[in-house]
Amino acid sequence: MKKYAIGVDIGGTTVKLGLFDQDGGVLEKWEIPTVKENNGSGILPDIAVSIKKQLASMNIGESDIEGVGIGAPGPVDAEGTIYRAVNLGWDVFNIPKALNAYLNLPVKAANDANAAAFGEMWQGGGKGHMNLVAVTLGTGVGGGIIVNGSILTGATGAGGEIGHIHIEDTEPEACGCGNHGCLEQYASATGVVRLAKRHLQQDRQPSVLRDQKLSAKAVWDAVKAGDQVAIRIAQQFGDYLGKGLAAVAAVANPEVFVIGGGVSKAGEVLFAYIRPAYEKYAFHGCRNAEFALATLGNDAGIFGAAGLILN
């Protein structure tokens, strides 16, 4: 048995890397910039160079490394082929084969949200569960679905794209994906702000939210302070998200939903608004699913990527 594995999480501005031991402990974390020139053709060579440098500096031989896991921001199929990553300039190619041109180690690749879900299952808020749905409430709404301990990749790597479940028939504005009424339009950080703006326009009641720059954090802080308008915003957020997760449950029937991303910093208060709506919309066979907070934060991706190798 090799001693270590490396987890890599490729983001739009930085690549996060981590060296993990067999028990899932992270021994070292570091970052390099994501160089997107020439359609991101330097990203994988940069990763190879950085890994070699890091290992040399720690006096670890490549022969001690079981493999490298990669999380990438685009649809990735079960063989590690990515189907475009717009943020990186990447077209369609096989990530393990491409990285092997620069680094002779076993490589596995997954979509970054799926890798993060895998990380939360392995060492995070979903530890101990083999069937979970990770929900990332950030700029958008991302998802990752773990079935019997494996990532649900789907036919074209779009498994778990739960932010684009249609949830509202009357939405006039378009989602980033071009559709109207996607879950992401209400449950992301920007979605919470949109809901808040609409409520503040329609609702005559006083609210602390009228006197400050709107953000998801401001809304949840106001909820915690008992602001009635903020509470109604939270109820609508919860209704949308609960409805969307009930649809997810009717398909995947998870043991637990692990909620992460910026919006989840509000903490357990979220569940007071999500759970009643979830229970209202969910099929009775799925109604007992648990809700947990993600615990790995921005490291979920490198944990999950390393976990692809170590599990």
DSSP 100-113: HTT--S-EEEEEHH
- Residue from 44, 103, 252, 308 touching a copy of itself (CB under 8 A): that is 252
Binding a copy of itself (rule: CB under 8 A), the pick from 5, 98, 165, 241 is 165
Decide: is 110 part of the binding site for a copy of itself (CB under 8 A).
no
Size, binding site for a copy of itself by CB under 8 A: 46
216-224 and 228-252 helices cross at what angle (nearest 10)? 110
Would you count residue 231 as binding a copy of itself (CB under 8 A)? no
68 vs 256 by CB, closer to a copy of itself: 256
Candidates 27, 177, 225, 269; binder of a copy of itself (CB under 8 A) is 177
Q: Which is nearer to a copy of itself, 105 or 146 (CB)?
A: 146
Residue 74: both structure tokens together = 């685009």
| Residue number, 84 or 224, with CB nearest to a copy of itself | 84
Task: Report if residue 15 touches a copy of itself, rule: CB under 8 A.
Answer: no
170 burial (CB, 10 Å; 0-12 / 13-18 / 19+) is exposed
DSSP string over 144-177: EEEETTEE---TTS-TT-GGG-B--TT--SBPTT
Instruction: Give bridge partners of residue 134 from the DSSP assignment.
Output: 144, 258
- 39-78: which residues touch a copy of itself (CB under 8 A)? 75, 78
Residues whose CB falls within 8 Å of the CB of residue 102, separated by 6 or more in sequence, listed in order: 44, 45, 47, 48, 49
- Parallel, antiparallel, or unpaired: how do β-strands 256-260 and 132-137 relate? parallel
Residues that bind a copy of itself (CB under 8 A): 75, 78, 83, 131, 143, 145, 147-148, 150, 152-162, 164-166, 169, 177-179, 243, 246-255, 280-281, 283-286, 288-289
